[in-house]
Structure 1
Amino acid sequence: MTGKRPGPRLPAEQLAIAWQSASLLLDYPDEELAFRLDLIQRLSGQLPFPVGEPLRRTVARLGAIALPLAQREYVECFDSRRRTNLYLTYFAHGDTRRRGVALLRFKQTYLRSGYVLDDTELPDHLCVVLEYAATVDQRLGWRLLLDHRAGLELLRLALADADSPWLGAVEAVTGTLPPLVGDELTAVRRLAAEGPPREEVGLTPYAVPPMPGARR
């Protein structure tokens, strides 16, 4: 994308609520899920309809199924499908050597804000990125999301095709971002047609599984 990038349209407080809520919804469902759903339902009322309504849809769908079923569906959705994984660099680079460089850039961005990840977590996991953007550095978090706008859009489209309960959480994130234009639209069309690259190589210094999995 060329030219100056647009800034956020929502105030900082609403961005923080939207991104943190989406991060909680997209994390692996555990025994605290019911509490998180209640919290997000209440906080979503502070957001404009195009952002709050998708969050409430995901809250309603997850609240309507038993926790063991939610856990099974989560694993099936995010652990076994190339187009519905939560690792942002995977969409652009797949399991190629270039992905290692992209992961390093994420980590360097976090370090600029004094944010140090646990060694067990990859820095491009969408839940990690959203939490960082919501609670640590909105400006740099915004840039990371825009850098991977095409991947986010492919994830949204793939979740829609699968009628996934988690679709609304991703729709809320993309709802905080500018509309797709120019090179971004081209990138989305290419990703939709081809999918992530398939070449598999070592990704030192990160140990990356062949198929992206859930943060747990």
Structure 2
Amino acid sequence: MTRHPDPKLPADQLTIAWQAASLLLDYPDESLQLGLIQQAAGELPPFLADPLAATARELAANDLSTLQQRYVDTFDNRRRHTLYLTYFAHGDTRRRGVALLRFKQTYLRSGFVLDESELPDHLCVVLEYAATVDQRLGWRLLLDHRAGLELLRLALADAGSAWHGAVQAVTATLPPLGGDERAAIDRLAAEGPPQEEVGLTPYATPGFDPLPMPTFPGTRR
């Protein structure tokens, strides 16, 4: 991992923001406690609390079956909305397999063993790891994939997605973008991820072409 600046926000605020975003971005089911998430977000400064609360309000305005269908339409059927962070940088290339391995090795450094049903680069997994297991290493993972996070945020904003606020809150916990980072985001938005499609080992990866991609509902709860 490259060298990164230290967080400027208190550790407890990072924990609340990342855990709340992880729950909001997960596949919605009966265990989703939006009121509790809003209550926890209320302990954060407005630039974090407001976007999290906005997502919670929009989700609460839909019944569960509608919400689940909207989630699938948003995250499983659109490449620019994928929650798998390594896809933005590597697409379905062999380099993505190496990037996935680095995620898992990072988790193992903290004694965190991931359920084999999930890929280690799923944003909800990364946020939960950063919030509850190892904040320092989780911070680095998020910064290493900053360009993909920002592209996801912009794509959800353009689509008017209910989940935009959750991703906005995550990016708001990170340092201001530098010139090189902005250039990387612009390049990624213009060119997209690499197109070579090869077998990825040792992990099975979600299919981005053809769509849809699979989801793993409820496993983080």
TM above 0.5, yes or no, is yes
Runs of 4+ aligned residues of structure 1 deviating over 6 Å after TM superposition are none
1:131 pairs with 2:128: yes
How many residue pairs match? The answer is 213
TM-score of the superposition, structure 2-length normalised? 0.93
What is the aligned partner in structure 2 of residue 92 from structure 1? 89
Contact 2:117 2:216 in 1 (8 A): no
Structure 1 position 209, deviation (Å) = 2.2
Q: 1:154 touches 1:192 (CA, 8 Å); kept in 2?
A: yes
User: Which residue does 1:21 correspond to in 2?
Assistant: 20
Does the 8 A contact of 1:85 with 1:213 survive in 2? no
**Where in structure 2 are the equivalents of 1:60-75 lying within 5 Å?**
60-75=57-72
Q: Tell me, which stretches of 5 or more residues in structure 2 are unaligned? A: none
**CA distance, structure 1, for counterparts of residue 26 and residue 175 of structure 2:** 24
Whole-Å Cα distance in 1 between the matches of residues 103 and 43 of structure 2? 30
RMSD: 1.3
**Separation (CA, whole Å) in 2 of partners of 1:102 and 1:109:** 11
- TM-score, normalising length: structure 1: 0.96
User: 2-side partners of 1:195 and 1:154: how far apart?
Assistant: 10
% identity of equivalent residues: 72
> Counterpart amino acid of 1:200?
E
Which letter does structure 1 place at the counterpart of 2:109? R
Aligned residue for 1:83, secondary structure, equals helix
**Alignment deviations for residues 155-195 of structure 1 (CA, whole Å, 9 cap, x no partner):** 00000011000000000100100111122111100111112
The CA deviation string for residues 71-124 of structure 1, in whole angstroms up to 9 with x for no partner, is: 001001100111000000000001000000000000000000000001111000
> How far is 1:14 from its partner?
0.7
Q: Distance in 2 between matches of 1:13 and 1:139?
A: 13
